[in-house]
Amino acid sequence: MSMIRDITTPEEYQAILERLTDDIGKIVGPNLTDVDEIIMDRGQPLALRLSDLRVTYPYLLKNNEFDRIDQHMQSGVAGGWRKDGRIGIPGTLHRLSREVNTAGITTKLTVRVGRALIGVAEPLRPVIVRAVQENSGIAIVGPPAVGKTTLLRDIARIMAERLAQGLVIIDTSNEIAGDSDIPHRIIGKARVVAVGNPLHQGEKFARVIGNMGPQALLSDEIGYRDDIPIIRQNAPRGVSITATLHGKNMVRVVNSENLWPLLGVIGRQKVEPSVFAQAIEVIGRGRYRVHEDFDASIEAILAGKNAEKGVSEIAA
């Protein structure tokens, strides 16, 4: 059983409370270290998500209080809300997001509590070390809210032990290394490039590969912007990539046509190696299905069969 340590500081948790009102802070504060999300909708009751449990409080968010929180959320963040409706809190791993109505007024706020957890990826260390040694990539697949980003962050830590500055993290939402010019200490000596506008993710990939000479890239949420052609084009140049892919499970990922260029698939036929040599399917918190031969798994799924060759399950 792996030992997981939370190195999130009290100051990082306090940074969330400073962006809430005192009344909400009194509700959230005592359990903040266990909270995954704080859910605030204008005129609706406050709600929290703790792992798979959702708790609704009889506390209505009135307009004036909601507007104050909206302003507090943007404290210390140059430019305020980004075009994708997200910002972070400098010096932390927390992610703040909003949704607006047709008039551009904020109606929903979500705080995703980002924790610096060391040890999450330790059960997968042999898979990670193999990727580094063979200069190959890892695809990470799984549904929302199972800890893919937390896992990816700890994978970055382990990779950086060997690659140091040779590992470059392309951080689209500033969730891997935090929303600051100085990366969070959890990712070690890896270099970090912030994307800012998600529409420029592909451009960032191209610039990093062309200008920074990375040995390996690591990124969250690839495959639904303009990044796919650039990643596919640069795969033969020897720069490996480890990243999360959108898809509830491996079958859905393999059957997603927009991802086929990354998987080496044309017209449901496997025609070339995938960008990723291995894959980790997150089937629950601390539960993983490892595909040591990702290409074999892809071929099996395309043929309507179960992926079995080189597939094993690991539990933390």
Regarding whether 169 and 86 lie in a shared domain, the answer is no
Q: At 87, phi and psi to the nearest 5? A: -150, 165
* Contact (CB, 8 A) for 245 and 253: yes
Last residue in a domain, options 83, 112, 141: 112
What's the per-residue H, E or C state across 71-121? HHHCCCCCCCCCCCCEEECCCCCCEEEEEECCCCCEEEEEEECCCCEECCC
Is residue 267 helix, strand or coil?
Answer: coil
Domain boundary residue, one of 87, 112, 137:
112
User: Tell me, what's the pLDDT at 2?
Assistant: 62
Please tell me the total count of domains within the chain: 2
**Under 8 Å CB-to-CB from 135, ≥6 apart: which residues?**
215, 216, 238, 240
- 99/185 same-domain check: no
Same domain assignment for residues 187 and 298: yes
Whichever domain contains 250, its CATH number is 3.40.50.300
Q: Nearest Cα to 120, choosing from 144, 146, 90?
A: 146
Residues in Cβ contact with 296 at an 8 Å cutoff, skipping those fewer than 6 apart: 307, 309, 310
Distances (CA, A) of 281 to 53, 177, 232, 289: 23, 22, 21, 5
Distance CA 156, CA 132 (A): 11
53 in the same domain as 124 = no
* Residue 44 and residue 186 share a domain: no
How far is residue 203 from each of residues 4, 85, 137, 208, 210, measured CA to CA in Å?
Answer: 36, 20, 20, 9, 11
Q: Indicate which CATH number applies to the domain containing 59.
A: 3.30.450
Please state, in angstroms and rounded to a whole number, the distance separating the CA atoms of residues 125 and 133: 12
Whether 144 and 220 map to the same domain: the answer is yes
Query: The whole model's pTM is what?
Result: 0.89
Does residue 95 sit in the same domain as residue 151?
Answer: no
Is 180 found in the same domain as 64?
no
Dist CA 104 CA 194 (whole Å): 25
Question: Which residue blocks in 257-308 are alpha helix, DSSP H?
Answer: 260-263, 294-302
- Please tell me whether residues 179 and 280 are part of one structural domain: yes
3-state secondary structure of 195: coil
Do 273 and 170 have their domain in common?
yes
- Both 63 and 152 in one domain: the answer is no
* pLDDT mean by block of 10 residues, the chain; 316 residues: 86 96 96 95 97 92 96 86 88 94 97 95 97 96 88 96 96 86 92 84 90 93 81 82 91 95 95 96 92 97 95 91
Domain limit, last residue, from 77, 112, 147: 112
Map residue 49 onto helix, strand or coil: strand
Residue 153 and residue 196 share a domain = yes
Domain carrying residue 59: 5-112
